[in-house]
Each structure stands twice: as C-alpha cells, then as structure tokens.
Amino acid sequence: MIAHGAFGNVYIGFDSTTGQLLAIKEVRHGSEWVAKALQYENDVLEGLEHRNVVRHYGFQMAPDGSLKIILEYVPGGSLTALIERYATRKPPCGLPDSMVRFLARQIAQGLAYIHRQGILHRDIKPGNLLLTMDGEVKVSDFGCSIALWGMWSLSQCSERPPVAGSPRSPLYSHGYSAKADIWSFGSVVLEMITGRKPWSEFQPGNGRDRSAQLMYRLFSDRSARPYIPDDISMESRSFLDLCLTRDDKTRPTAEQLLDHPYLAETDVFDFALTLNETAPSPTGAPTGVVHMATTGSTRAEEDVIEDTEPQEYFQRWNDSSSSDD
C-alpha cells in the first residue's frame, strides 16, 4: 500500500498487456451517491490528456462492491514530501527559488489546461500535486472538482454532491470560478517559498476551533490574506500579490500567470537525487494485475483549509454545518 484515505487505499499494480506500473485506488463505498459521483468523475476525466495532469485509465467493479480506480503511477511522491524535506532541515527553509519557479510553472500549465476544458479543481494543495523522478508535476485528485458543463459538483467535502444551481452549490452561492484555484495555487507557491503552511499562526488549534479562528479573521478583515515575508524577490512578491488578492475579479487566470516574469523563464533540474528519499517505494507493496477499463478517481482526504480561497471556504463551512444539523 502506498497511500490510504477515508474511502480506501492506493496500491501499485501493472497492466498485464504492457507491463506499465499503475496506481490502483481501491474505493469502499456504502451509498448510492458515491457510486454516482465516481461515474460522474469518470465522465469528467476520461478525456483529459496533459503532461501535468495525472492520467485516469479506468475502473473495475469488484464482486464485493468496491471500486478499483486505475491511475497513472507517479513515483516521486507528493509536493508535500518535498516541502517537508526542506522544512525539516537545520535551519528550516523553503525550496530554492529556481526550483519553486520550475514547479510552479508546471502547476500553472496543468491548471490552464483543465480550466480550458471547463473543469475547476477546487482542491489544489501540495498533497494533490505529484512529482515524477524527473521533477514533472502532475495535478491529481479531482474528487472535489466541478465540471462547468456537468449536473452537479463532485464534492465529498459535504454530505452529498450538491446539484449545480441549488442553494448548497458553490456555483449558485457566489459564482464559483477558476479564480478560486488561482488563490489555492498562490498558497501552494507561498508554502514552497517559506516551507510553512499559509495561515500558520492558526496551526495550534485543530478542527472547528482552528476553523473558527480563521473564519473570524476573514470575516472581520476583508483584505486578510496569508502572510508574505519581506525577504523574497520582487518578482515572487508580485506573483503572490496577484494570486492572493481577495478581489477575484482582478485575480489573473492560469494562462495569464504563465506570462508573468516569475514563471516566464525557468531552469530545468535533475530531480532524481532530490526525490529519491521522498518517493514511495514499490518494493514489498501489495500489487496486482490490472486489465484496463474506463473511469476516474475519487477524493480520499479531508480538505485543507490553508489553501482554500476565502469565498469557497465560507461555502464549505456552511455546507458542513448544515450536514451536522
């Protein structure tokens, strides 16, 4: 097993025809809406093909009712592991500036692609950004995504997927757009630069106590945003200022950010040595032979508040509060 979450585990397998290594996400579901959500996600993701987006190859229904989601295997681990490796050094630090730019450009390319396809990710964070051994970034985990042409939001962040246009839907509540992904992207870049999670001053709390602190801050100060340190380059500050503006109307698109000087010129790295210690090893992990089918993946982790755009966070708070009643 290489990962686990609320709805299942992820194993390494291989295609019996080609021998290609695959990630097999075994999903346990106990309700009809989860099964429908998985099928919807398949409809959203089966046509996506971009070097910076994890490929979704198919799914299989097991006799016990569990679903096996077939994904591209990305051996370098997540961006979280890379950030933590630098953050635990003495003294702790963020990633080198040239490395941040190199990775950030690829994330922007992946976002620009899925936005062109009419898909909003809604859960951009380091744990959902995977790395190959060559340092190629793969946007993954579309379990909270919205297809603007689809019937309903794939949201496991609340009790059930809301119908688009309903009062519980972000599309209805505040005109959710791709600009929220840009806020999350900026939060990821900030974490790469500093080695610390955004809003780290709220870290001592947990659960709703911590959420309530941040909610109060965001409601009481409409200009509030994560702290950006003074000792960073002018280009990186300019970039973060654009991504983390609270006014989503002035927040740029992913396509526009690709033209920003911070991302315009990036170096190429040999990531093999850098990622070697952080990558999950297939040695000894459960494996299986897979015959290909067609579908996508499902989200299996809790939302991370630090990276969520304020308006979207307010909606998720309201949704979860309604579910608790």
Q: How far apart are CA 113 and CA 55, in angstroms?
A: 13
- DSSP annotation string for 224-289: ------SSS-HHHHHHHHHHT-S-TTTSPPHHHHTTSHHHHS------HHHHHTTSPP-TT----E
CB–CB of 236/193 below 8 Å?
yes
Give the count of alpha carbons within 13 A of 183, CB side only.
26
CB–CB of 129/140 below 8 Å?
yes
Q: How far apart are CA 118 and CA 95, in angstroms?
A: 32
Q: How far apart are CA 121 and CA 125, in angstroms?
A: 10
Catalytically active residues are 123
Residue 15: DSSP 8-state:
E
Which amino acid type is present at position 246?
R
Which amino acid type is present at position 165?
G
- The contacts of residue 22 (CB under 8 Å, 6+ apart) are 12, 13, 14, 15, 57, 70, 71, 72, 73, 290
Residue 91: DSSP 8-state:
S
**Phi first, then psi: what are they for 148, rounded to 5°?**
-65, -20
Task: Classify 24 as helix, strand or coil.
Answer: strand
- Of 298, 286, 294, 289, nearest in space to 60 by CA: 294
CB–CB of 25/298 below 8 Å?
yes
